[in-house]
Chain A
């Protein structure tokens, strides 16, 4: 066996993830639909891992959904991204960490374009200067925020209060993972494990005691499709893609779905509800759905954060059945409290999907 040769091959599936000093860029989708996840990420990186992480109040959308729905030209998107890099530069950082997978893919696309077409980079620099007066350095290290949690998964396990073990059976919790398409399908070398062996979520699940469950449609898209969801008339595309995945994973009895893209957990959560309303079908045990988690939420569970601080009350598919299996305490009376701790009413009950009030 030629070990050196193997090392060279596997090195293509590794990526450099900076050890500290991160410039964080928030995600439009994650902020809106999983607001607890970004707050949790900042707390974990700052408080539990003791790292330096900063964000800039002036940073905006990268135009991602509009770019991939094609109402915004590539030149516009590149220049908006250049402005984000300028904010990073002004703040004295070199390691750029977007929360959004669509953004992560676009930052990679822009940097690759500039690498192959330096004249395009020069043009963008001129346009940014003309529009804003700003200049920028390119990031020294560009990783997705799930890469940071992956890098420190062992430290999180060591500090953790819980493991992904069913307390009633002693068996590992069975988890299916779903990697956002733009994490590594466009530029495989930019993702941990590439497009063939994406390990970023598998590494977390296994390190924290769970069992990764394989299923035939594991790498199929969640069905966002940008304009295919944004426009109401097209949403059949989106729900059909998610349904194909649910049907494929159900026979393997997953107890949770773990995701790293902000959009995918939203679609897996809401389309399970919509399918239950349309067809009366549910994919979890006993009329429940399969709980869908972001990697920040899963890390938060392991570290013992309060489930309502993680934001599980914003999920349509309840996460309580998973919490019960692991033995994570929560106070149902505190689920629907507002910012000052007062009760703000409860959502209506779905017709078919079991919900936890």
Chain B
């Protein structure tokens, strides 16, 4: 057992999620990600079970851990009480905190997740913020979303008078005091530190790749990680 395995074992989800895998493959049979990507939750659990730091480090630097959709169908079915989807979450946490995520195409995408969902939480108090879900980044949303975003106040205002106003109701304006509390929670619990590491390691990778790096969603590096797909992730591509 090495330092990396020891470190991961401090996460309660690791303790709860890694019992003894009997390699039955039930998790893989039910896994939506295993059907789409070159992914196999059984391999994940057996790799972690080796307690071999070299193998685990390679895992945390690979695309493999970023394929899971965390639907948790595997948890229902494992006859031994393992939770591959939860173990993925632990792997991803350490991959980011140790800076390993920038070594893989799918891992590098975490910057885009942080700069959308992550920043909306602290700026607005929501995981989603319709004003910033632009139709051009979301062509699948169709003409109805474009219609909604063209008249946000009119559309949402039809259902609740407090849209982006103070008071209870849909998409109300979250008071600054509450946003300040969220920020302090992030500061105290490691959320802010994770965000800073995502930025810091991503900047380093952008320099390595020769891509322009700046805040927001328009820099070369951001657009690259958000849009680029090497198409080398499916079962047929290997």
B121 CB → nearest A CB, Å: 6
Verify A31–B170 contact, CB threshold 8 A.
yes
B171 within 8 A of A: yes
B55 within 8 A of A: no
* Nearest B residue to A124, CB-CB: B189
Choice from A73, A185, A311 contacting B71 with Cβ under 8 Å: A185
Choice from A79, A221, A234, A308 contacting B189 with Cβ under 8 Å: A79
Stretch of B19-27, B40-48, B158-166, B203-211 with 4 or more beta carbons under 8 angstroms from chain A: B158-166
**A69 cross-chain contacts in B, Cβ below 8 A:** 110, 113, 117
A34 CB → nearest B CB, Å: 10
With A61-B121, A233-B227, A233-B229 known as contacts, the answer to whether A316 contacts B185 (CB < 8 A) is no
- Would you give the 0/1 interface string for B72-92, flagging 1 where the beta carbon is closer than 8 Å to chain A? 110110000000000001001
Choice from A63, A117, A185, A239 contacting B140 with Cβ under 8 Å: A239
Verify B191–A76 contact, CB threshold 8 A.
yes
**A219 cross-chain contacts in B, Cβ below 8 A:** 73
Verify B171–A346 contact, CB threshold 8 A.
no
**A339 cross-chain contacts in B, Cβ below 8 A:** 153-154, 157-158, 161
A132 within 8 A of B: yes
Interface size class of B (residues with CB under 8 A): 35 or more
A58 within 8 A of B: yes
B111 CB → nearest A CB, Å: 9
Interface size class of A (residues with CB under 8 A): 35 or more
- Tell me, in angstroms, the Cα distance from A117 to B10 when the chains sit together: 12
Verify B189–A73 contact, CB threshold 8 A.
yes
A153 CB → nearest B CB, Å: 24
Verify B140–A273 contact, CB threshold 8 A.
yes
* Nearest B residue to A72, CB-CB: B191
A75 within 8 A of B: yes
- Tell me, in angstroms, the Cα distance from A116 to B81 when the chains sit together: 15
Verify B71–A35 contact, CB threshold 8 A.
no
A337 within 8 A of B: yes
- Tell me, in angstroms, the Cα distance from A127 to B143 when the chains sit together: 45
Verify A58–B174 contact, CB threshold 8 A.
yes
With A65-B128, A232-B226 known as contacts, the answer to whether A127 contacts B71 (CB < 8 A) is no
- Tell me, in angstroms, the Cα distance from A75 to B154 when the chains sit together: 38
- Tell me, in angstroms, the Cα distance from A69 to B121 when the chains sit together: 13
A68 within 8 A of B: yes
A102 CB → nearest B CB, Å: 9
Choice from B114, B125, B184 contacting A61 with Cβ under 8 Å: B125
Majority-rule SS of B interface residues: helix
* Nearest B residue to A338, CB-CB: B154
- Tell me, in angstroms, the Cα distance from A22 to B34 when the chains sit together: 40
- Would you give the 0/1 interface string for B5-41, flagging 1 where the beta carbon is closer than 8 Å to chain A? 0000001110010000000000000001101110000
Verify B188–A233 contact, CB threshold 8 A.
no
- Would you give the 0/1 interface string for A55-77, flagging 1 where the beta carbon is closer than 8 Å to chain B? 11110110111101111111110
* Nearest A residue to B91, CB-CB: A70
Verify A76–B128 contact, CB threshold 8 A.
no
**B49 cross-chain contacts in A, Cβ below 8 A:** none
A291 CB → nearest B CB, Å: 13
**A128 cross-chain contacts in B, Cβ below 8 A:** 185
* Nearest B residue to A134, CB-CB: B181
Choice from A76, A225, A270, A350 contacting B32 with Cβ under 8 Å: A225
**B127 cross-chain contacts in A, Cβ below 8 A:** 28-29, 61, 63-66
Verify A80–B33 contact, CB threshold 8 A.
no
With A224-B69, A231-B226 known as contacts, the answer to whether A338 contacts B89 (CB < 8 A) is no
- Would you give the 0/1 interface string for A249-288, flagging 1 where the beta carbon is closer than 8 Å to chain B? 0000000000000000000001101100000000000000
**B227 cross-chain contacts in A, Cβ below 8 A:** 232-233
Verify B142–A270 contact, CB threshold 8 A.
yes
Verify B125–A60 contact, CB threshold 8 A.
yes
**A228 cross-chain contacts in B, Cβ below 8 A:** 33, 69
- Tell me, in angstroms, the Cα distance from A57 to B175 when the chains sit together: 8
* Nearest A residue to B190, CB-CB: A73
A111 CB → nearest B CB, Å: 13
Verify A274–B142 contact, CB threshold 8 A.
yes
A307 within 8 A of B: no
Choice from B72, B144, B155 contacting A185 with Cβ under 8 Å: B72
Verify A116–B76 contact, CB threshold 8 A.
no
With A71-B114, A83-B185, A231-B113 known as contacts, the answer to whether A57 contacts B166 (CB < 8 A) is yes
What are 24 inter-chain pairs, A to B, with CB distance below 8 A? A28-B126, A32-B128, A32-B130, A63-B127, A65-B128, A66-B113, A66-B117, A66-B121, A73-B190, A74-B13, A83-B182, A113-B12, A131-B185, A230-B117, A231-B113, A233-B226, A270-B141, A274-B139, A316-B141, A338-B154, A339-B161, A344-B154, A349-B143, A350-B142
Q: Which 5 A-B pairs have the closest CB atoms?
A: A225-B69, A338-B154, A339-B157, A76-B191, A347-B147
Additional A-B contact list (12), CB under 8 Å, known A71-B113, A220-B32: A36-B159, A60-B178, A66-B118, A72-B194, A73-B190, A74-B11, A127-B188, A132-B184, A227-B66, A309-B159, A311-B159, A313-B155
